[in-house]
Amino acid sequence: MPDAQAKNVVIACIDTRNPPQQLAAFAGLNINVQLVIGFGNPAQASLFQAADAIITEMHPVSAGMLGALARCKIIACASTGYDYVDIEAAGKLGIWVTNCPGYCTDEVATHTIALLLSQARRLPQ
């Protein structure tokens, strides 16, 4: 039987440029979503303490921060890397950490080649 109580998700963004489609993806799922800028703002501590899940964009997540996440079961890193999350502390607390390993790989490769070509042809000069 599904849990009737709504889950709390906090999306910790780098800035306000994130499209509203991110929030629309949660429509009809019995999920309360809070969109915040940053991760370590003490004024937002209660949001994170009540979060069942956190989606973050490269914000450092220390062992101390993880210890304050009373309900959190998963931290989803909206990036290819996850080195900004204290994985060992998360594991000890039973918090799963995920990432997006294939995110933008083609775009990064294309951009890298473009930068190399611009340097080879001295385009920045």
The tens place of each residue's pLDDT in the chain, 125 residues long, gives 345 688 888 888 776 666 677 778 888 888 888 888 877 677 788 888 999 999 888 888 999 989 989 899 999 998 899 999 999 999 999 999 999 998 888 998 999 999 999 999 988 77
pTM of the predicted model as reported, rounded to 2 decimal places: 0.77
Q: What is the pLDDT of residue 1?
A: 39
Position 63 scores a pLDDT of: 93
List CB contacts of 69: < 8 A, sequence separation 6 or more. Answer: 48, 49, 51, 54, 93, 95
Contacts of 19 (CB under 8 A, 6+ apart): none
Superfamily for the 7-120 domain: NAD(P)-binding Rossmann-like Domain (3.40.50.720)
Neighbours of 75 (CB within 10 A): 26
Q: Which amino acid is at 82?
A: Y
